[in-house]
Amino acid sequence: ADLVRRVAGSVPVENMEVGDVICFEEVLINFHPCPYHFQDEGLLWRDGSLYPNFSMSHVLLWARDRIWASVPEVRGTPRDFVLFARQGGNPAQNMKSRKWQGYEEFARELDADIVDFTRLSFDQEVRTMFGAQVFVTVPGAHHAAVLFMRPGTAWVELQCSRVAESFYWYRGFQRLVRALGVRWEAIEAEGCPSLNSDASSDYGEVWVERTAHPLYVFGRVLQDRVAETARQMCWWRKQGEEDTEARPNSSLISKLFPDDSWGLLEELHAGDGAVAMDRCQQWELDCQGVRPSRSRPGSWELLRTSEGYWRKWSCAEVRLDGTARLVDRTTLVAHVLYDIDLTAPASALALMRGALRSSSGVLEG
């Protein structure tokens, strides 16, 4: 929330809770819900990717300048090395994975400042990262802190490269670092798990002809409905009798909102449920079911929950070439392999010092 407010400046920021409805005169909508998950992963990061002569790096640099300007005395004491080992919190209660084992020795040798992000205010975090010439760490949610670093500085990360590179969002983070003008350096940890030669680099994703997809085949065999839109193919199954009476409902959402004030997305004048299903799929994950309207004959209600007369049983992403996304679980890289604790090799110290010699970030007075 602090990050959003600092970037927004004088622009009002509204917090929305479940069930809230806020009306706007103008709305700017992200054209893709997950910008890393393109068929071409590098597309968003190329020069001129957003508009001619305007790319993601321009947006990021503008946001970084806004954040720096919002923090009093941001140009604090510079440090050659700042280190975060995901060591924060009470050791007896610390359940974090991906901790750096034996980081203390490296911190002493480098004379590094050891930080614990859980104990820093937003302003303190920005000052710390702004002053770091080399930030040494392990993978984690603190990746976002790279936004506060100066161009020419270095982000050095202890990791298991083959495992980390199997996840598209990790590859996306490396592009984010470079777009900010920060140098990316990886250090291979000791004892990293081995992967099969056919291990997938994209969550086991394969693309098959849509009519050969199990979702399509089982939907047809069971005589349910398979509906397709530009981006989705969904298998729909009947859940109840087609009438306008409320069906018994024991879900938590129904208990919290018995009048359907939260569950109802839209009411559509369509006598045919197929039209309602097609419209529901345009809502993508927001819409999970449809049912005949309880108050308007000939209309259908689009629901956030899967409690309608028809509900989405399963969906697959589709492409314009007629293929549909399928996950081959035999090639998946388990996330648990990414979450192991890490140990740095003896050679890591020289690599970290080399990153300092190669860094060019200048901290102006």
Whether pTM > 0.85 for this model: the answer is no
Tens digit of pLDDT for each residue in 70-86?
Answer: 999 998 778 999 999 99
Greatest mean pLDDT among 23-27, 55-59, 267-271 lies in: 55-59
Lowest-pLDDT range, 2-16, 19-33, 138-152?
19-33
- Inter-residue contact 149 to 143 (CB < 8 Å): no
Q: What average pLDDT does the segment 209-215 reach?
A: 94
- Inter-residue contact 329 to 291 (CB < 8 Å): no
Greatest mean pLDDT among 125-139, 243-257, 272-286 lies in: 125-139
**Is residue 186 predicted with pLDDT exceeding 80?**
yes
Tens digit of pLDDT for each residue in 255-293?
Answer: 555 555 557 888 988 777 889 999 999 888 889 999 888
Q: What average pLDDT does the segment 158-168 reach?
A: 91
**Contacts with 283 (C-beta within 8 Å, 6 or more apart), sequence order:** 265, 266, 302
CA end-to-end span of the chain, whole Å? 30
Q: What average pLDDT does the segment 334-342 reach?
A: 91
**Is residue 326 predicted with pLDDT exceeding 60?**
yes
Report the C-alpha gap between 32 and 322 in whole angstroms.
20
- Please give the full DSSP string across 36-90, using - where no structure is assigned: T-SSSTTGGGSTTSSBTTB-HHHHHHHHHHHHHHHSTT-S---EEEEE--S--S-
Number of Cβ within a 10 Å radius of residue 112: 21
